[in-house]
Chains A and B, each alone.
Chain A
């Protein structure tokens, strides 16, 4: 039952990623369109420092970054865990893999979330 719940979260995270990552990719690659919406106010490339700072200061973008970070880490690491489990490893190794992936995922989430919040004060 618990695994079913994790699986449903995996699917829900996938749908959320599809929207947020689609938005993220559009902002990064369709500069001319999103520049008009104030997401690339300095013009030029989306990765130009002034544009990065402007987006980082937007509260909505901080929320999007952190939501995407959490959803993508959960979706990705749960998928990796499923692949590793399918190789037929024993229960002890399964537990170690689960703990290892949770630790790695939480460390990356904390790093990314702190960076998103700190960049908001640039």
Chain B
């Protein structure tokens, strides 16, 4: 039997990433995951173009490094690091949920009901704490480099 899926228009579009109503914390992580992902992708494309200059010799490489040596790029580099930490750690959380490892065990629906959020929320908070530790360590390292 052929199955058909009814598609509904995504009326809010990108606006819905932030202004769709009273979202839960997980929904804001969904937005943050996408924003960090897009930021990393933008940087990565530039990074491929810049680092490919090494194949052209020392002069090209040194020239490229001078161009990206401006302090604004150092701040950008830290933002990319921060985006990688958040995107990577949250990605592990999403894979764990996708594979059913972070949603809790199935149980009888006895009142008061427990949802998978009882497991998912602590995992999310744990991920954010680990991300904060990495960001603090990375921020310290970047400050050492820039001073």
> Which positions in A face B, CB cutoff 8 Å?
11, 14-15, 17-18, 21-22, 25, 29-30, 47, 49, 52-53, 56, 69, 72-73, 76-77, 79-80, 83, 86-88, 108, 111-112, 114-116, 118-119, 122
Q: Is the interface of A mostly helix, strand, loop or mixed?
A: helix
- The verdict on A119 contacting B9 (CB below 8 Å), with A11-B95, A76-B37, A76-B41 known, is no
Q: Which residues of B contact A108 (CB under 8 A)?
A: 45, 48
Q: Which of B34, B81, B88 contacts A18 (CB 8 A)?
A: B88
> Which positions in B face A, CB cutoff 8 Å?
7, 9-10, 13-14, 34, 37-38, 40-41, 44-45, 48-49, 51-55, 57-58, 61-62, 65, 81, 84, 88, 91-92, 95, 98, 138, 141, 145
A56 x B81 contact (CB < 8 A): no
B61 x A49 contact (CB < 8 A): yes
Q: Which residues of A contact B37 (CB under 8 A)?
A: 76, 79-80
A83 x B10 contact (CB < 8 A): no
Q: Which residues of B contact A53 (CB under 8 A)?
A: 54
A88 x B98 contact (CB < 8 A): no
In the complex, residue of chain A having the shortest beta-carbon distance to the beta carbon of B41: A76
B10 x A76 contact (CB < 8 A): no
In the complex, residue of chain A having the shortest beta-carbon distance to the beta carbon of B51: A115
Interface centre among B54, B81, B84 (most CB of A within 10 A): B54
C-alpha gap A25/B137 in the complex (Å): 13
Query: A-B pairs with the 4 shortest C-beta distances?
Result: A115-B52, A118-B55, A76-B41, A88-B10
C-alpha gap A111/B45 in the complex (Å): 11
C-alpha gap A116/B54 in the complex (Å): 9
Q: Is the interface of B mostly helix, strand, loop or mixed?
A: helix
22 A–B contacts, CB within 8 A, in A order: A11-B95, A18-B88, A29-B138, A30-B141, A49-B61, A52-B61, A69-B48, A72-B44, A76-B37, A79-B41, A80-B38, A80-B41, A83-B34, A88-B9, A88-B10, A108-B48, A111-B52, A112-B51, A112-B52, A115-B51, A115-B53, A122-B54
Q: Which of A15, A77, A83, A111 contacts B48 (CB 8 A)?
A: A111
Q: Smallest distance from the beta carbon of A88 to chain B beta carbons, Å? A: 4
C-alpha gap A77/B38 in the complex (Å): 9
In the complex, residue of chain B having the shortest beta-carbon distance to the beta carbon of A12: B95
In the complex, residue of chain B having the shortest beta-carbon distance to the beta carbon of A116: B55
Q: Which residues of B contact A76 (CB under 8 A)?
A: 37, 40-41, 44
Q: Smallest distance from the beta carbon of B88 to chain A beta carbons, Å? A: 5
- The verdict on A86 contacting B10 (CB below 8 Å), with A14-B95, A18-B91, A112-B48 known, is yes
